[in-house]
Amino acid sequence: MKLGVKAAHPNTPSKRRKELRKNLIAYSFILPNLLGFAIFTLVPMVFSLGLALTSWDGANQVSWVGLQNFKDLLDDSTFRISLENTLWYVGGTVPLTMVCALGLAVLLNQPIRGRNLFRTIYFFPYVASLVAVAVVWNMLFFPSAGPVNEFLRALGVANPPRWSASVDWAMPTVIMASIWRNMGYYMIIYLAALQGIPSILYEAAAIDGANAWQKFRYVTVPMLTPATFFISIMLTITSFKVFDLILVMTNGGPGRATNVLVMHTYNTAFRQFKFGYSSAIAMVLFALVMIITIVQFTMERRWVEYSQL
């Protein structure tokens, strides 16, 4: 007996048209974001890369200089100091922010009274105006009449640090302000990760006789490694791009004590009008961040646990 209707072949034209329509609908959803990325991020990056190989002051004709801008960086003492300051800032900010955020998250994950209020208080600096945060920190650490130095003098410290007015203490002061402002945001990420750890793991550890520290060391820390990896990536990239906090607190000073690479890029481009040279600095910063991010992703498998329970 023959059937009147043939079974549809998986590659028939009607099926292909249906698949194509579904794909076009899916692409239409990501198209606005893709266009925004291409226009406002990809094209400026490509333009900046090309500009790094030229000399241009924004008014006269662009002239091709090849790799000369990159060669000039080797003799630029401000670039060298800015690179050192950037690494100093990243090296101080990233680990201390992660430690403070994790400590706060563990503390505020406990059933203590008013913990929602404390979570809000610690998160508030992240959403507060950065200018207000910087001004408040400068007032607190004002060398001659700030509350911090008044407190230190009351304790018997005859010559307290001059904080943001001192070449030696300016960068630690900026790092402390950055940690205080950002730790609330990363605390929220750690809190979400902590609440996703199955309680059965802690119960099994308790049966094995583990104390509080051993539970934290062998249960909490491994289960938080995906969140720790994400935070390390985001915090490292954000720290390399620091600009606004330093601009308001110290403007790169005193001297060049807090002048970072983004600050040097800004000054070179918009105060000295050396757009080609500033693009070369920006390309070095981009390459530095990209290399460190690749290294972080390469080492991910060695310490990040993606356990499926």
- In a structure prediction context, what are the per-residue pLDDT tens digits for the chain, which is 309 residues long? 444 445 555 567 788 888 888 889 988 999 999 999 999 989 998 999 999 999 998 888 989 999 999 999 999 999 999 999 999 999 999 999 999 999 999 999 998 888 899 999 999 999 988 888 888 888 999 988 889 999 999 998 888 888 988 999 999 999 999 999 999 999 999 999 999 999 999 999 999 999 999 999 999 999 999 999 999 999 999 999 999 999 999 999 898 999 999 999 999 999 999 999 999 999 999 999 999 999 999 988 888 877 655
What pLDDT does 5 receive? Answer: 47
pTM for this predicted structure: 0.86
Q: How far apart are CA 282 and CA 54, in angstroms?
A: 14
Report residue 218 as tokens.
């062998």
CA distances, 209 to each of 203, 206, 215 (Å): 10, 5, 10
Which residue type does 286 have?
F
Nearest to 82 by CA among 150, 18, 213, 171: 171
What is the 8-class DSSP label of residue 29? H
Nearest to 286 by CA among 70, 80, 45: 45
What pLDDT does 2 receive? Answer: 47
What pLDDT does 1 receive? Answer: 44
Q: Which residues pair with 54 in a beta bridge?
A: 64
Q: Where are the beta strands (DSSP E) in the chain?
A: 54-55, 63-64
